[in-house]
Amino acid sequence: MNGRGPTPTVRLLAGLAVTLAALCVYSVYTIAQMRGLERLQTESIDRNRTDSLLLLRIQNNLNALGLGMRDMLDAGEPYPLTAWQAQFRRLRVDLDDAMSREEKFSPATRTADQRHYLAASTAQFWDALDRIFALAQSGNEEEARTRIRMSLQARQAALNTAVSRLLVQNNENEERAAAETQRTYARVERNVYFLLAAMLVVVGVTGIYLVQQNRRIFDQVAALSERRSELAQQLISMQENTLRYISRELHDEFGQILTAIGAMLQRAEKRNAAADVSLRADVREVNEIVQSTLEKVRTLSQALHPVVLEEEGLESAMDTYLPMFEKRTGIGIHYEKTGESRAVDALVAIHLYRVLQEALNNVARHSRSTHANVRLCFSPEAVVLEVEDDGIGFKQTTAVRGMGLVSMRERAEMMKGRIEFLGAAGGGALVRLTVPVDSGAAHA
C-alpha cells in the first residue's frame, strides 16, 4: 500500500445529512397535510354537519307550521283561527333561533343570494301570517282561511323546498370533504411508502458502501499484517544470525585466546617454581581470573546461541540451559518431559528455545517467584512447551505488555502455533506454546 485511501467519514456524514434533510422535508410536508386535514375537518365537515342539524330543526319547525295550517283549515275544528296564535308564536321563536344559529354555521360555499332568499322568505311568511291573524281577529275568518290556502301554504312549501335544497347541498359538501379526506390520507400513505422505500435504499447503499470500505480496510490490514509478519521474520532471522555470529566469535576467538593465556600462565607457573612465592601467587590469581572469564564467555556464548542446539537438538539444549539458569538466578526449576521424543526442525527448535529463554527471564525479572515448572510434551498432533511459576501473575506486572511477550507472539505466529498467557491454578503465571506438527515442528 502506497498510501491511505479516503476515509468514509465525509461520505457517511454527507449521506446522514441528506437523510436528515429528507426526513425534515417529509415531516414538514406531512405536518402541513395533517393540519390541512384538521382544518378541513373543523371548518368544513364539522361545520357542515352542525348546519345540517340546524336545517333539520328548521325543517321540523316548517313541518309543524304546515300541520298547524292544516288544522286551521279543518272545517271540523270548533276553535277560531286565533286559537292557534300562541302555537305559531312558539314555533316562530324556535324557528327564529334556529335561523340565527344556522346563519352562523352556514358553509362558505353558500351564496349570498341563498342566504338572502331564506331570510326574506321567512320574514314574508311571518308578515303574511300576522295579517291573516289580524283578519281573523276582525271577524273575517273565511278570507283569512282563503289567504292561508292561496298564499301561506305556498310560502311554507317554498321555504321547505329551499331548506331541502340546502340539506342536499350540505350532503354534497360532506361527500366532497370525505373524498378530499380520503385523498389526503392516500397522499400521506403514499408518502410514507416513498419514505420507507427511500430509507431502504439509503440503508442498502450505506450498507454496501460500509461493506466495501470494511473489505478495503480488512484487505489493508491483512496486507499490513502480512508485511509485519515478513518484517518480524526478517528481524528475528537477522537477530538469530547476529547472535550466532557473536556466539561463535566469543566461543572460537575469545575462548581460544583465553585458553591460550591460561596455558601460558600454567607454563609460566611451572617454569618459575623456584621463584618468589608472591610472584607465583599472582600468576595463579591471574590464571584463575582467566579461567573464570573463560567460563563466563562460554556461558554467554551458550546463552546467545547454544551450539548444542544445532548439534544435538532441542532436548539436549534444554538439559544444558536449565541447570545454567538455575545456577545463575537461584530459581529452582522442575523439568518434566512427556510423550515420545522426536527430532524437531532446526528453525522451530530455535524458536521454542527462545520462547523458553524469554519466559524464564520473565520469571526471574517480574514474578518474584523462587520456583518454576518447565514441561515439554510431545503428542501426535503438536509439541507443547509450558513454563509456570507461583509468583504474582500477569495482572500485577507490566511484563505482559513488554517486548519479550511480543517477540514470543511473533515466534508463535511464524511457527503457525498458538501462545497463551494464563493465570496458573494456584496463582502465578503460565505460558503455554503449542506448535502443530504440520508446521515442520516434528519429523519422524
Domain limits of the chain?
9-210, 312-439
Nearest to 391 by CA among 433, 426, 419: 426
Answer whether residue 365 shows pLDDT above 80.
yes
Answer whether residue 120 shows pLDDT above 80.
yes
Q: Which of 128-137, 207-216, 228-237 has the lowest mean pLDDT?
A: 228-237
Averaged pLDDT for residues 276-289: 70
**Tens-place pLDDT, residues 126-157:** 999 899 889 888 888 888 888 888 888 898 89
Contacts of 278 (CB under 8 A, 6+ apart): none
> Letter for the amino acid at 192?
V
373 grid coordinates: 515448572
Predicted confidence band of residue 439 (pLDDT cuts 50, 70, 90) = low
* pTM score over 0.75: no
Q: Are 408 and 358 in contact (CB under 8 A)?
A: yes
Q: Are 120 and 33 in contact (CB under 8 A)?
A: no
Strand pairing partners for 232? none
Predicted confidence band of residue 251 (pLDDT cuts 50, 70, 90) = low
The pLDDT of residue 247 is 66
Residue 111 in 3-state DSSP? coil
Pick the CATH number of 9-210 from 1.20.120, 2.60.40, 1.10.260, 1.10.3470: 1.20.120
Q: Which CATH class is domain 312-439?
A: alpha beta
